[in-house]
């Protein structure tokens, strides 16, 4: 489907979107080459039009007294601009007013935008002014009624067509246009209008296929924006989504940490197929334990395959072979394990270098008993699950002002999370514990919580 543009011009009672109102709107629909539709109407602003504005626009109070109110033409505007890119001369102005007008009806109006002021600057460098009046004069565009919405919108459209005729390489906005085009690719049954009803808050979202099986789980601090991003990309993941996804639902979490934990728990539980394919592509390397000759456990890193994941418990996942190896190095030295067994050093057949330094207890030459060595290996593997501070609660904001999200770490282990009313946070640890939904201990979730603790400064900690 070709890209459609809605070139829009409005007249108002003044310059402030928050204070002033729209008195006229004109919409010209273009395919980039020619005008295919147009619409123009006066609008009763519900407030009086100042005389100095009337002098500019020619729109008087008498003219709008029988005109429709904005809510009466809102549906028409939505229908006309559906699947279009919003174009205007100084687009922030027109877009701002229209967005405000929709917001007052409880509707969130959101479109890709192009500004013909910015585009003209790039396309026609060296002009004294890029005001609509000056461009009309410069290009000798015929206009009957300057400062009436339809005439200005048509003039803007002519300028816009001229811009698009320029060589693509000269116009950066081409990229913006192609992104906007990509956004028009949506899965069957999912419309842009539906996506716009999704919340712009923090939570977890679920994409399901036609048999209602969840095929993808994600989290975002702005669900609507993230879903739009998903469909505006051009890659394998997007193709898969376009192919499989037929419905989207969501759950708000308030707290970002709660969204991260919920996402991880549910991906693990439901194993959505698109996530599965993705996890492997984001973190293709893993560390896991294998048994070396003579019964010693060994940390191994490798590019993960189905066979490996089915057979071994993956201790940690990495984006590169290098970070997987350095993870092994860190744990080898922290727990006095053998560098030779863990293949950081080449197996010489004799003792490792660290043995001479008395940092390895000699597992390499079977001096240390496998059972005592392996105990330390398991302890090291287990450590990826543990917090240094043994008992504390993390408090984050909840799904609204009346509640908080709480996360419990007890005896160094992340236990789970839940929601509690804001006042009850101060009643004590037993009250908090009652609101916790307990989860299985999990390395990935532990590392998510750790990571948030070190990066999210808004979290509050209560020790107990």
Residues that bind Zn ion (CB under 5 A): 338, 340, 352, 355, 360, 364
Question: C-beta of 363: minimal distance to Zn ion in Å?
Answer: 6
Looking at the Cβ atoms of 347 and 423, the one nearer to Zn ion is 347
Closer CB to Zn ion, 232 or 340, in the complex: 340
Minimum distance from CB of 321 to Zn ion (Å)?
Answer: 23
CB neighbour burial string for 347-356, b if at least 16 within 10 angstroms, e if fewer: eeeebbebbe
Q: How far from 211 is each of 247, 302, 320, CA to CA, in Å?
A: 10, 36, 36
Give me 405's structure tokens: 């999200």
Q: Give ∠ CA 75-79-81 in degrees, rounded to 5.
A: 115
- Greatest Cα pair distance in the chain: 101
Gap between the Cα atoms of 446 and 261, Å rounded: 9
The least CB distance from residue 359 to Zn ion, in Å, is: 8
- Select 338 or 406, whichever has its Cβ closest to Zn ion: 338
Which run of H or E residues covers position 464?
A: none
Distances, alpha carbon 103 to alpha carbons 87, 170, 183, 378, 464, in Å = 20, 37, 23, 57, 45
Contact present, 204 and 218 (Cβ < 8 Å): yes
Q: Which is nearer to Zn ion, 311 or 348 (CB)?
A: 348
Q: What gap in Å lies between CA 280 and CA 303, rounded to an integer?
A: 9
**Which of 5, 9, 68 has its CA nearest to residue 35?**
5
Is 161 one of the annotated active-site residues of the chain?
no
Report the distance separating Cα 274 and Cα 276, nearest Å: 5
Catalytic residue among 89, 147, 249, 318: 147
Q: Report the distance separating Cα 84 and Cα 71, nearest Å.
A: 21
At its nearest, how many Å lie between Zn ion and the CB of residue 352?
A: 3
Q: What is the closest distance, in whole angstroms, from the C-beta atom of residue 365 to Zn ion in the complex?
A: 7
Q: Whose Cβ is closer to Zn ion: residue 183's or residue 352's?
A: 352
Residues forming the active site? 147
């Amino acid at each position: 489907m070709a890209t459609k543009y809605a070139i829009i011009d409005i007249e108002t009672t003044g310059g402030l979107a928050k204070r002033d109102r729209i008195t006229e709107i004109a919409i010209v629909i273009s395919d980039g080459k020619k005008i295919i539709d147009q619409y123009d109407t006066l609008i009763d602003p519900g407030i009086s039009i100042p005389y100095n504005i009337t002098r500019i626009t020619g729109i008087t109070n008498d003219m709008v007294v029988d005109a429709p109110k904005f809510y009466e033409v809102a549906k028409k505007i939505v229908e006309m601009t559906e699947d279009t890119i919003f174009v205007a001369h100084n687009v922030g102005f027109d877009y701002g007013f229209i967005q405000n007008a929709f917001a007052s009806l409880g509707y969130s109006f959101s479109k890709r935008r192009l500004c013909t002021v910015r585009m003209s600057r790039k396309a026609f460098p060296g002009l004294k002014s890029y005001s609509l009046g000056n461009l009309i004069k410069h290009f000798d565009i015929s206009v009957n009624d300057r400062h009436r919405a339809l005439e200005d919108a048509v003039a803007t459209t002519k300028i816009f067509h001229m811009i698009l005729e320029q060589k693509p390489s000269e116009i950066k906005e081409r990229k913006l246009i192609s992104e906007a085009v990509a956004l028009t690719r949506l899965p069957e049954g999912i419309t842009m209008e539906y996506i716009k009803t999704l919340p712009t808050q923090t939570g977890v979202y679920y994409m399901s296929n036609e048999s209602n099986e969840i095929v993808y789980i994600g989290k975002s601090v702005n669900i609507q924006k993230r879903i739009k991003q998903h469909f505006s990309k051009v890659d394998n993941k997007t193709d898969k989504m376009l192919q499989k996804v037929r419905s989207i639902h969501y759950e708000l979490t308030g707290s970002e940490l709660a969204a991260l934990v919920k996402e991880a728990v549910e991906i693990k539980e439901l194993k959505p197929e698109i996530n599965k394919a993705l996890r492997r592509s984001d973190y293709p390397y893993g560390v896991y334990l294998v048994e070396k000759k003579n019964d010693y456990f060994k940390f191994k890193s490798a590019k993960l395959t189905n066979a490996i994941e089915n057979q071994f418990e993956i201790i940690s996942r990495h984006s590169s072979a290098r970070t997987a190896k350095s993870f092994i190095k860190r744990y080898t030295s922290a727990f006095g394990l053998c560098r030779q067994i863990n293949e950081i050093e080449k197996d010489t057949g004799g003792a490792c270098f660290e043995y001479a330094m008395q940092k390895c207890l000699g597992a390499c030459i079977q001096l240390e008993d496998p059972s005592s060595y392996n105990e330390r290996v398991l302890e090291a593997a287990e450590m990826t699950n543990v917090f240094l501070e043994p008992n504390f609660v993390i408090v984050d904001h909840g799904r609204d002002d009346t509640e908080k999200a709480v996360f419990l770490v007890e005896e160094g282990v992340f236990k789970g999370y839940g929601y509690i009313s804001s006042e009850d946070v101060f009643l004590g640890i037993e009250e908090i514990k009652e609101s916790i939904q307990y989860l299985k201990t999990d390395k990935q979730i532990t590392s998510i919580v750790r990571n948030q603790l070190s990066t999210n400064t808004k979290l509050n900690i209560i020790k107990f």
